[in-house]
Amino acid sequence: MLVTGASRGIGRAVATAFAAEGDRVAIHHRGSADIAERLRAELPGDGHTVVQADIADPDAVRRMVDEAADALGGIDVLVNNAGVFFEHPITEVSYEDWQAAWRQTLDLNLVGAANVTWCAVRHMSHGGRIVNVSSRGAFRGEPDGPAYGASKAGLNALGQSLAIALAPHGIAVGTVAPGFVETDMTSDHLKPPRGDAIRAQSPFDRVARPEEIATAVLYLASPAAEWSSGTIIDLNGASYLRS
């Protein structure tokens, strides 16, 4: 199985969870080779590999996915986890910065994930599972990072479209949509006093742990989850309830 953005945060927890189940994992990173190699050495089991690519670069994506498939003898599970978030409030940034934020966010979070998926499907001749890591922001909006919310809403739509397109090929597609999770990407947001307000959004008065997201990803990738293809699982501790 291949996990993008696997060297830290949610991706690291996902890689660890799958390895604990006996899977061989391709750990993707963009520029964290040392961290990715340390994770590979720490994972239970053998046969894990590290692959590198800028997900926003289509040629690098194709090379990376092929390299992962060669090392693992194919790909049966893909987890599209890599993503970025840039703050760019519409009333506070320049036109140039606004365009750059949209371009960089969509190129990685949406188009990059779509490209990784296209490449991985070519290695799923016997069926497989694709799990996309979306966000609560796809539903409630991201006023300080609208490109992020839009990219994740697009990822949701991509997953549901492919759930229909790939079912005849034995490939199920699911999505998880976390709220705030304790990761490097959210560490600044979770510092007091802002972090206290974020934790209070949930009646549990906390944010998610990466391992909780990994548990849901593990389920969606399991044989038992085929009939849930096309679903989006909210993982936000009841901080945002949608109808």
Does the annotation mark 219 as catalytic?
Answer: no
pLDDT value of residue 183: 85
pLDDT value of residue 175: 98
pLDDT value of residue 73: 97
The structure tokens listed for 230 are 């096309």
Per-residue model confidence as pLDDT tens digits over 167-218: 999 999 999 999 999 987 787 878 888 899 999 999 999 999 999 999 999 9
SS3 of the chain: CEECCCCCHHHHHHHHHHHHCCCCCEEEECCCHHHHHHHHHHCCCCCCEEEECCCCCHHHHHHHHHHHHHHHCCCCEEEECCCCCCCCCCCCCCHHHHHHHHHHHHHHHHHHHHHHHHHHHCCCCCCEEEEEECCCHHHHCCCCCHHHHHHHHHHHHHHHHHHHHHHHHCEEEEEEEECCECCHHHCCCCCCCHHHHHHCCCCCCCCECHHHHHHHHHHHCCHHHHHHCCCEEEECCCCCCCC
The structure tokens listed for 98 are 């606004």
pLDDT value of residue 238: 98
Catalytic residue among 95, 148, 219, 240: 148
Q: Between helices 95-106 and 146-166, what is the axis angle to 10°?
A: 30
Residues paired with 133 in a beta bridge: 176
Please, are residues 234 and 202 in contact by the beta-carbon 8 Å criterion? no
- Write down all domains in the chain, each with its CATH number in brackets: 2-233 (3.40.50.720)
pLDDT value of residue 140: 96
The structure tokens listed for 1 are 């199985």
Reported pTM: 0.96
Residue 44 CB contacts under 8 Å (≥ 6 apart), including other chains: 19, 20
- Counting as low any pLDDT under 70, the low residues of the chain are none
pLDDT value of residue 184: 77
